[in-house]
Amino acid sequence: MSTPIERMALTAAVPDAFHVMAKPTGAICNLDCRYCFFLEKEQLYPGSHFRMRDDVLERYITQLIDGQRSDHVIVAWQGGEPTLMGLEFFRRAVALIERQRRPGMTIEHTIQTNGTLLDDAWCAFFAEHGMLVGISIDGPQELHDRYRVDKGGKPTFERVMRGLRMMQRHRVAFNVLTTVHRANGDAPLDVYRFLRDDVGTEWMQFIPIVERVDTPDGTTVSDRSVGAAQYGRFLTTIFDEWVRRDVGRVFVQTFEAAARRWMGMPSGMCIFEPTCGLAVALEHTGDVYSCDHFVEPAYRLGSIREQQLIELVASPQQRAFGAAKRDMLPGMCRSCEVRFACHGECPKNRFIATADGEPGLNYLCAGYRQFFNHIDRPMRLLIDQLRHGRPAQSVMALLAARDAEFARAVQHAGRNAPCPCGSGRKAKHCHGRA
Ligand code: SF4
Ligand code: SF4
């Protein structure tokens, strides 16, 4: 039982909204993606059946709805593979939510799936409840199948595409989550154009794969991990295509987040915010952890079977977790010209040292620094369009005119003259190279 002072402190700490990633099957999945960080979490619950019980489900829904001050609630399911719970579980969840929602409250249902178990019944259910489905696909077949395999090591691309086409037939709202790793990291345009043109998605999310290997210095990554510079090139190459032809019709989460930062608004992505801690993970048992990436005993906040979800989200332990993202930032980040957009990205990737030996720099720093500096000019142009009341798309015509002007300048520059791009190199060694 908390004291009045403790209750007052809790009320002051309660956020207006928070996000929960619920994992009804825990770490259990029907696939065996080579880079999946979550499969090993199965060891946290030896002997468990890995199915969320109905009493836990009911507590979760009640506490999620009661704990939100906002009238907009996102109910997000993730895994492991959540569809392994079967459709009836989700029917019960939706019925519970409908019974408990407050008048005027809007509910957004989302689910992240590998898509391989979807059938007509699932798709009809998603469509009926306006559920937004996130589907994991890593690009064209040869790139996707490199690491996304099933328990028998068999490729999964065709099964994913089957699920995806079925969702399209049922007009299910879906977006795409693509992990970026060593195998697809050098093929940004193949990946992007495949998602845009062949899959036909308008919304995509890129997640870098960074797997640490257990070595004495703790800075080594697996050979599946994307390289820092590789990730920077991946993002900048796709950005250059997007900003010239797809603004307003394709949404790339990282670019949307960056545009918001350039406008001085919250990015909408925890990794690019100064602090975090408002996105907890709920295990099938009712245990709550600080974040999906920190489902580890040291980051267990408690259980919704013993405490209210909101108490766990607003607890001193969780607030300290969120503040550490800012407080542990190395000096190099504090003085970085793109800190406003990057904020040192996610703490889980901060395991290398700066050039002067300070620990806690993000492994992906070189890539992010390149990317955020690269997009500065087009972002300023884009934001300028918006500030003048013009649609974001008008930046494409502007860039096309500038590109044409630049091409003319290169054409007319002597081969030995300085390159018009300002690199300081001779044109023949730079943009004037045949
Ligand atoms: S630890 Fe990383 S993924 Fe988790 S909430 Fe913080 S920034 Fe987001
Ligand atoms: S780009 Fe690098 S130095 Fe700059 S804020 Fe991000 S991680 Fe820190």
Closest ligand 2 atom to the C-alpha of 333? 8
Give the integer Cα–Cα distance in Å for 224 and 237: 21
Strand partners, 72: 106
Catalytic residue flag (residue 71): no
Average pLDDT over every residue of 216-233: 93
Q: How many CB atoms lie within 10 A of CB 39?
A: 17
Single out the catalytic residue among 292, 356, 376, 403: 292
* Cα atoms found within 13 Å of the Cα of residue 271, Cβ hemisphere only: 18
Over residues 147-189, the pLDDT tens digits come to 999 999 999 999 999 999 999 999 999 999 999 999 999 999 9
Residue 1 has pLDDT above 50, yes or no: no
What does the pLDDT read at residue 41? 78
Average pLDDT over every residue of 109-128: 97
Average pLDDT over every residue of 320-343: 98
Query: Could you tell me which residues come within 8 angstroms of residue 61 by beta carbon, excluding any fewer than 6 positions away?
Result: 75, 93, 96, 97, 100
Give me ligand 1 centre to Cα 323, in Å.
Answer: 11
Among 326, 336, 361, 374, residue to substitute to test ligand 2 (most atoms within 8 Å of Cβ): 336
Average pLDDT over every residue of 203-211: 97
Residue 355's identity, in one-letter code, is A
Residue 8 has pLDDT above 70, yes or no: no
Residue 12 has pLDDT above 70, yes or no: no
Query: Could you tell me which residues come within 8 angstroms of residue 315 by beta carbon, excluding any fewer than 6 positions away?
Result: 301, 302
Over residues 401-430, the pLDDT tens digits come to 999 999 999 989 888 999 998 889 999 999
What does the pLDDT read at residue 3? 61
Closest ligand 2 atom to the C-alpha of 343? 5
Over residues 39-63, the pLDDT tens digits come to 777 889 999 999 999 999 999 999 9
Among 19, 269, 271, residue to substitute to test ligand 1 (most atoms within 8 Å of Cβ): 271
